[in-house]
A and B are shown apart, each in its own frame.
Chain A
Amino acid sequence: KNEVEQSPQNLTAQEGEFITINCSYSVGISALHWLQQHPGGGIVSLFMLSSGKKKHGRLIATINIQEKHSSLHITASHPRDSAVYICAVRGGVYGNKLVFGAGTILRVKS
């Protein structure tokens, strides 16, 4: 069982739909990262958050420290959003290391 659980594993959406990807973890942390990986490509950092909410363009990330849960929302989804979205946590028992979820594969159809 992964220490960092993401759901769903796979997600197919129609262009324009509102998308939510979830990340749950089991122990106290200092921060949570959301990352994006395009097919055949490298990994890009989207957000790093310790509390509350962050927004960048059509992407919104929220975290609830008490419930040990984070969500990544994509508004007005577009085919170019198709990618693997990965969450990672650090802090607490993990120290400075990043511990990763298995990723959510998102496909947005036009």
Chain B
Amino acid sequence: NAGVTQTPKFQVLKTGQSMTLQCAQDMNHEYMSWYRQDPGMGLRLIHYSVGAGITDQGEVPNGYNVSRSTTEDFPLRLLSAAPSQTSVYFCASRLDPNTEAFFGQGTRLTVV
């Protein structure tokens, strides 16, 4: 099993550009989440999904969009990148709320 696969690992964007961060898991997990990690702060929830076709906003959703058309995939879209979105992004999945979380390797995004 590959676990949680995130791509790309690194990305540099210009202000105003859009892009999609990919996240896929092969463990048949229902719960998937996107977090951002900034220095001195805990991971913050951007968007999450409790199953295919169901998504909801987290703590810091502005400027990001998600969809969940399949159980396996949960892409995160940056609509118009801003320097404030420079961060490390992590995708995570869980079988259900009461189980451990599995994380992807992270995407280091820089917006210039």
Contacts and interface: CB of A to CB of B under 8 A. Distances in A.
A101 B42 CA distance: 5
B43 interface: yes
A45 B101 contact: yes
Interface string B25-61: 0000001010100001111110010100000001000
Contact of B101 (A41, A98, A102): A98
B102 interface: yes
Chain B interface size, as a band, is 20 to 34
Given A90-B97, A96-B97, A41 B105 contact: yes
Nearest to A100: B42
Chain A interface size, as a band, is 20 to 34
A2 B104 contact: no
Interface string A29-53: 0110101000001111100100000
B98 A31 contact: yes
B90 A43 contact: yes
B42 A96 contact: no
Interface of B: 31, 33, 35, 40-45, 48, 50, 58, 90, 92, 97-106
22 contacts: A33-B100, A35-B103, A41-B105, A41-B106, A42-B106, A43-B90, A43-B103, A48-B99, A48-B100, A86-B42, A88-B42, A90-B97, A96-B50, A97-B58, A98-B33, A98-B45, A98-B101, A99-B42, A100-B35, A101-B42, A102-B41, A103-B42
